[in-house]
Structure 1
Amino acid sequence: MIIRAYLRASTADQDANRAREQLKAFVAERQTRITTFYVENASGATVDRPELQRLLSEAGEGDILLVESVDRLSRLPQAAWEALARQISAAGLQVVAVDLPVTHMAMRPASGEGIEAWLHQALAKMFLEFMAAFARKDYELRRQRQAQGIAAAKEAGRFVPRKRNLKLYSAAIKLRETHSIRATAAILKCSKGLVERADAWAKTNAAAEVATDGE
């Protein structure tokens, strides 16, 4: 059995490897081991994740896609999740989420094509759909509350903008001279959004320098 473990954290300052030992313990209890780890810092609200795409491209029929929880795999809107689910199915992968016991049966030895196996597969798929929708809803609620909190802080004069990681910005800007946004994010192990913000920051500074020179 080939087990491909996917580990994700949303931002560069979070530890994407946080759940590694938990996943290793999970498979050890089932007397097997993880074949390959795929680790990245990227938003679960986008499918533009290099390590996830690498996992899908390397997978074969019957392989396991192991995650700590469904929200590590997806916080996507419905249409994007359905597209990703089709990719997963086409790759021959079965998703196992540690926090979703109904998916654990995929880790057991094959039990044939009987009605029991078919029912378990149907239940697993249904619960995966439910948890993917829940993960997206949770993401949207967090964004909404964040926006409300920022608006309230601004109104009260308490809002302090997040400081830019200028060292990371500088590295991203340098890499962007020869690399795409996606490749730059992969090299720096950061989100595509951070690279895009670094690009925008560099362009704003360049425009400001031009304006100053013209005065």
Structure 2
Amino acid sequence: MLIRAYLRASTQEQDAHRAAEALERFAQEHGHPIAARYAENASGAHADRPELRRLLEDALPGDVLLVEGVDRLSRMSAPDWKRLRSEIDAKGLRLVSLDLPSSHQALHARAGDEFAARVLDSVNNMMLDMLAAMARKDYEDRRRRQAEGIAKARLAGKYQGKPRNQEKRRHVAELLAADFSIRKAAAIAGVSPSTVQSVKREGA
């Protein structure tokens, strides 16, 4: 069993490594050191995240995907979350989240008690789906409040839009000109794939 820790923050201003110490302490308390860490600044509403994809590519059956909270893994719509869950299951990964105590048993799984394991998996799957739905609702609520605030500011003539990080966008343009893929350019520049796609469209 290898523990693969996934750390995510939504924006470049946030620290994706913020939860690293808590994850490390948790793994040590359960007698399993973290074998690999995957950290990135990207929206949890999208599945196409370079470090998440790399984790899934690296993972072997029986490995543990460790996250601080389910919302660090997903703020996706129900269909996208279902696809990601199917991919995690197909890889034979066990998902452990610090905010879901029942999932912690995956770190102490023993062979020979198939019935207990299936019952626990069923409970965990239900709880994971519920937490993922709550994370999505929180995301949609925040987006709605943000849109309402922008609309109000526009009516008052105060909204100027979010400033772009032109230095990062120039870096992305240089990477695209050097024939880097969208995913690779996003990982190197520290931006989301959607930002790379936006820069690519501007240069088309």
Which TM-score band applies after superposition, normalised by the shorter structure?
over 0.9
CA distance in 2, matches of 1:16, 1:130: 24
CA distance in 1, matches of 2:128, 2:112: 22
Q: Is the 8 A contact 1:7 1:40 kept in 2?
A: yes
- Pairing 1:127-142 to 2, within 5 Å after superposition: 127-142=127-142
2:184 equivalent to 1:189: no
CA distance in 2, matches of 1:129, 1:162: 33
The farther-off stretch of 181-190 and 144-153 is 181-190
Q: Deviations over 1:61-93 (max 9, x none)?
A: 111000010011111111111111110001000
CA RMSD, 1 decimal: 1.6
Look up the equivalent residue of 1:70 and give its one-letter code: V
CA distance in 2, matches of 1:62, 1:172: 37
CA distance in 2, matches of 1:169, 1:32: 40
Determine helix, strand or coil for the equivalent of 1:142.
helix
CA distance in 2, matches of 1:181, 1:62: 31
Query: Bigger radius of gyration, 1 or 2?
Result: 1
Gaps of 5+ in 2: none
CA distance in 2, matches of 1:2, 1:147: 42
The aligned counterpart of 1:97 is 97
CA distance in 2, matches of 1:185, 1:12: 12
The farther-off stretch of 167-176 and 188-197 is 188-197
Q: Under a length normalisation based on structure 2, what TM-score does the superposition of the two structures give?
A: 0.93
Gaps of 5+ in 1: 204-215
Matched pairs, number: 203
CA shift, 1:111, in A, is: 5.5
CA shift, 1:102, in A, is: 1.3
CA distance in 2, matches of 1:159, 1:200: 25
CA shift, 1:193, in A, is: 2.3
CA distance in 2, matches of 1:194, 1:28: 37
The aligned counterpart of 2:165 is 165
